[in-house]
Homo-oligomer: A and B are copies of this chain.
């Protein structure tokens, strides 16, 4: 299974604190732990590469795409977003991490604001497992804690998830739907809240476990290109006396 981890990779270059936590970037840290799974072949791509590292051949070969973005959502080209969207609808899996709630690709697939409350402070986050049978939560107990994380709070401007997997409790008094899935076309989408750049969240065992599980869950089952066919009848129809006057404009 081929996984591409896409990262904006700007905070790590601009902020020494972030660089001290993720010296080679968050994408590299994520690729590193995913590579412990023999079934996964991980590669990375970043904003400042040509075509953001998401060339046609990279997308062609990607089974599951992981996305982290925050300060430069607007710099992601609409053409690349459109290609990624097409691939998800054909069947590619997508895992949106943390601030990717506001990425162009996540918003384009969900169709809503994806807005939320936020606070960078000293909150602890406790994530409650609301669907213990779900494969993304394999190995996760009733809850786990992240000692410090950015707070995200409700209301979260998302369509009702197909499955709600995790709800977070924050010290400061908020709650958040921190793990949720949607199907769009033939592709599976998982949003996973944790991962603020100033905390070592992606080194935490439960976070790594969930992302690894999610890669397996999001693996494509099919690849079906978009089509809107003019389809002949399968059963006898009355004679078509109007055919001559019928407009010939199709759906595309």
- Bound Cα distance A203, B207 (Å): 43
User: What is the total number of residues of chain A having a CB less than 8 Å from a CB of chain B?
Assistant: 92
CB < 8 Å: which of B118, B128, B172 contacts A175? Answer: B128
Closest to A167 in B: B175
- Bound Cα distance A126, B36 (Å): 41
- Is the CB–CB distance between B221 and A135 below 8 Å? yes
What 1/0 mask marks residues of chain A from 100 to 141 whose CB sits below 8 Å from any chain B CB?
Answer: 001000001111110111111111001011111111001000
Residues of B within 8 A of A85 (CB): 111
- Is the CB–CB distance between A155 and B182 below 8 Å? no
- Bound Cα distance A222, B251 (Å): 35
Closest to A187 in B: B133
Q: Whole-angstrom distance from the CB of A11 to the nearest CB of chain B?
A: 7
Q: Which 3 A-B pairs have the closest CB atoms?
A: A172-B233, A173-B234, A133-B186
- Bound Cα distance A230, B18 (Å): 21
- Is the CB–CB distance between B128 and A238 below 8 Å? no
- Bound Cα distance A18, B71 (Å): 51
Residues of B within 8 A of A198 (CB): 242, 245-247
- Is the CB–CB distance between A126 and B234 below 8 Å? yes
**B-contacting 9-mer, from A26-34, A38-46, A51-59, A158-166:** A158-166
